[in-house]
Amino acid sequence: MVHIDYIIVGGGFAGFFLAHQLQKNNLSFIIYNGDQISGSHISAGVCNPVVLKRFSTFWKSKEQMEYLETIFSEIQCYTGNNYIIHEPVARIFHDEAERKQWRRNAQKEDLNPFLNTDFISLGSIENPLECGVVKNSCRIDVYHFFKDLFTYFKNNNCLVNESFHHQLIDTENGIYKNFKFKNIVFCEGIHTRDNPYFDKVPVLPNKGHCLEVKINQTIDPFIIKKKHFLFSLSDNRFYYGGTYDRFDQSDDIDPEFVGELENGLKAFYKNEFSITKVRTAFRATVDDRRPILGTHPEFKNLHIFNGLGARGVLNGSYFSKVMLDYLENQVELDPEISVSRFQ
């Protein structure tokens, strides 16, 4: 029997960021990572403190952006790489009213640090009304983040690449297979609906499509946003996405959403491009737009960390520290994020 502090179920942003917090605090853990592709794995990884539809901000945005540099510097200490790419978001204005709204909102105390009132014109795309730049925004190299951490945890015998079977948990004695555990944290995204301990928690699947496109021309080095995000990957490969669909529960690629993305890109990029890949996965969202942290009401060694939504990097990195402090230092959870709000 292997004695261990934590079992983490799920290998998306929630699971990997929590694993980092445990490692930093010298706590033993094993990650169960199944073969499902999660929304985390194909996400844009954009870290943006501004809601680009209304030019507003959101709860804990300042704290999340400040913590981002800290946690990725810590991760760099053992992977050798820092995954933050300092390319700011450039939001294409649709009309004159948006330009005026941007400038008005930039005078607000909570938005002034983020909304740059010096508009820019990008030469590689159609932007007749220019673009507003979000200061301090950036993105994460999602592919290499997961690739490197998967390899690191695997090499350190902290990751099992197999599905987790809830029915094998012995909650009374803290045993799962050959592990004697103190705690299990479920970071399962939409698959929490298959978890008999947390299946009543209202995590809502939101399906997203994204494209990988080939563009042979040089594109300005920004995260360009009109309806969706466009940014460079490497070797003339670009990310473009993603869509939102609360209704389709299948894993199938929907041609309607592929068409939406293709037309969205054509709306501001007038040169030729080709679609090389289409990906789809599900985000774990919550109606109140708050993540879900906490403990099962009966089984005190079972916990949940879920509901990161479309801001997986920001929510996952910041609230992984909150989760660690709750579990190890008995710091009370804010009622806005506690799973008890659903009980």
229-250: average pLDDT: 95
9-25: average pLDDT: 97
Question: What are the pLDDT digits (tens) for 194-226?
Answer: 999 999 999 999 999 999 999 999 999 999 999
Quick one: what percent of the chain has pLDDT higher than 90? 97
pLDDT, greater one: 106 or 35? 106
Contact present, 208 and 245 (Cβ < 8 Å): yes
> Residue 35's pLDDT is what?
76
* Structure-token pair, residue 224: 């360009």
> Residue 211's pLDDT is what?
98
C-alpha triplet 292, 336, 62: angle, nearest 5°: 95
How far is the C-alpha of 32 from the C-alpha of 165, rounded, in Å? 10
331-336: average pLDDT: 97
> Residue 97's pLDDT is what?
97
Q: Per-residue pLDDT for 262 more than 90?
A: yes
How far is the C-alpha of 199 from the C-alpha of 192, rounded, in Å? 6
Q: What is the SS3 assignment for the chain? A: CEEEEEEEECCCHHHHHHHHHHHHCCCCEEEECCCCCCHHHHCCCEECCCECCCCECCCCHHHHHHHHHHHHHHHHHHHCCCCEECCCEEEECCCHHHHHHHHHHCCCCCCCCCECCCCECCCCCCCCCCEEEECCCEEECHHHHHHHHHHHHHHCCCEECCCCCHHHEECCCCEECCEEEEEEEECCHHHHHHCCCCCCCCCEEEEEEEEEEECCCCCCCCEEECCCEEEEEECCEEEEECCCECCCCCCCCCHHHHHHHHHHHHCCCCCCCEEEEEEEEEEEECCCCCCEEEECCCCCCEEEEECCCCCHHHHHHHHHHHHHHHHHHCCCCCCCCEHHHHC
How far is the C-alpha of 312 from the C-alpha of 306, rounded, in Å? 10
Mean pLDDT of the chain: 96
Sign of the C-alpha dihedral computed for residues 92, 97, 98 and 103 taken in this order: positive
How far is the C-alpha of 152 from the C-alpha of 168, rounded, in Å? 27
Instruction: Classify the phi-psi angles of 53: left when phi > 0, otherwise alpha if psi is within -120 to 50, otherwise beta.
Output: alpha
Question: What are the pLDDT digits (tens) for 34-78?
Answer: 877 788 999 999 999 999 999 999 999 999 999 999 999 999 999
Q: Per-residue pLDDT for 175 more than 80?
A: yes
Contact present, 30 and 4 (Cβ < 8 Å): yes
How far is the C-alpha of 195 from the C-alpha of 185, rounded, in Å? 12
Quick one: what percent of the chain has pLDDT higher than 70? 100
